[in-house]
Amino acid sequence: MTISTQTIRRRWNSVEARETRLAWMLICPTALITLGLVIFPAIFSVWVSFHDIGLHNLNDVFHAPFVGLDNYRKVFEDFAFKFQGMQSWGAAVTSIVYSFASTILTIIVGLIAALLLNRPFRARGLTRAIFLFPYVAPIVSIAFVWRWILDPRPSGVINDILMRLNLIDLPQAYLATRGLALVLVIIFEAWRYFPFAMLMILARLQAVDNTMYEAADVDGANTWQKFINITIPELRYVLGAIFLLRLLWTFNKFDDIFLLTGGGFGTKVLPVLTYEFSFRLFDFGRGSATAMILLIIVLIFMGIYVSTVMKSTEE
């Protein structure tokens, strides 16, 4: 008996055991906070989406009446959610179009910027720093500057320039025009987030083996051929990673559209709809149901991506 307690004590005091205990102690606060503030709420929001929760019973959530799929049914029947023809896409379709178009445009602009910065020229370091501005500056200031530039009054810069060029006769309300508003929001996303794509592409470009280009030169390839046959294949993995990350983040993004258009004029995406259900109508059940639909779409994208793109790159 004494021997076994001794071995236990020896094991308890062994270097590995002490290290393991230390590791758990060190990681505990971070793990608890993330668990308590992210993983648990995420699971809890599944529960909320099946219950009728409003401001009246917010203090007594656990006794909220169970309503089954009622919240989901209400979301699917909502005019702001469902697709009703080309005039009114609804939040689900708008979200998908918006995030795919923004992501693709962001990558294209980021690729062009990276190619620009990949060749040596004077003041390249300064230019690189300036290129990061849109990504670094706070979204609130950036969104309001763009709203001020696109101001519908004649004092708006874009209105003034286009009127001077005789391209328009009367000042336009760009962000309050259905269709155009969505296009402008997509362009805004590309303007703001291209530096992220640029930095990742630039890092990869600088690792490309230069002898490949030299060999192509010997073979008489032109710039375009070199770009298509060497640069793009070399960038394949990093472009895939950027695509997945940006798509995910754009899909989940609330601030940008809320600040630019308030979700009006054909730009209502699922995060904004979730916010409106929860904090304008104070129907938390319906809000959670919308957020769950958003999450399910994200998971479907991830699934498709992992099973097709990742598989094909492995081969």
Partner 1 sequence: MDTQSKNIIEHLTDWITWPRIVFALTLTFFLTSILFPFYWMISSSFKTRVEIAGREPVYIPGALRLDAYKELFDPSHPSYQNFITNILNTLKISIPTALIAVILATFGAYAIARLRFRGKNFMLNGILMVYLFPGVLLIIPLFAMLAQMGDRIGFNVQDNLGVLIFTYLAQTLPVALYMLTNYFRTIPDEIEQAALIDGCSRLEVIWRVTLPLAIPALVSVSIYTFMIAWNEFLYALVFLNDHSMFTMPIKINTIFNDPSPRPHVVMAASTIMTIPVVTLFLALERFLEEGLTAGGVKG
Sites for partner 1 among residues 184-243 (CB under 8 A): 191, 223
- Tell me if 207 sits within 8 A of 230, measured CB to CB: no
Of 284, 94, 49, nearest to 275 by C-alpha is: 284
Nearer to partner 1, 177 or 252 (CB): 252
Judged by CB under 8 A, which of 68, 85, 120, 138 binds partner 1?
A: 138
Dihedral sign, Cα of residue 280, residue 286, residue 291, residue 293:
negative
Q: How far apart are alpha carbons 64 and 51 in whole angstroms? A: 6
CB closer to partner 1 out of 3 and 126: 126
- Shortest Cβ distance from residue 3 to partner 1 (Å)? 27
Of 294-313, binders to partner 1 (CB under 8 A) are: 294-295, 298, 302
Which window, 71-79, 126-134, 207-215, 228-236, contacts partner 1 (CB under 8 A)?
Answer: 126-134
39 binds partner 1 (CB under 8 A): yes
Q: Is the backbone of residue 250 left (phi > 0), alpha (psi -120 to 50) or beta?
A: alpha
Query: Contacting partner 1 (CB under 8 A), which of 99, 261, 267, 288?
Result: 288
Q: What residue spans of 35-153 are helical by DSSP H?
A: 40-49, 70-77, 90-118, 124-131, 133-136, 139-149
* Long-range contacts formed by 178-181: CB under 8 A, 24+ apart: 178/87, 178/265, 178/266, 179/266, 181/261, 181/264, 181/265, 181/266, 181/267
Q: Which is nearer to partner 1, 62 or 86 (CB)?
A: 62
Shortest Å distance, C-beta 130 to partner 1: 6
Q: Which is nearer to partner 1, 235 or 289 (CB)?
A: 289
Q: Which of 37, 69, 215, 300 binds partner 1 (CB under 8 A)?
A: 37
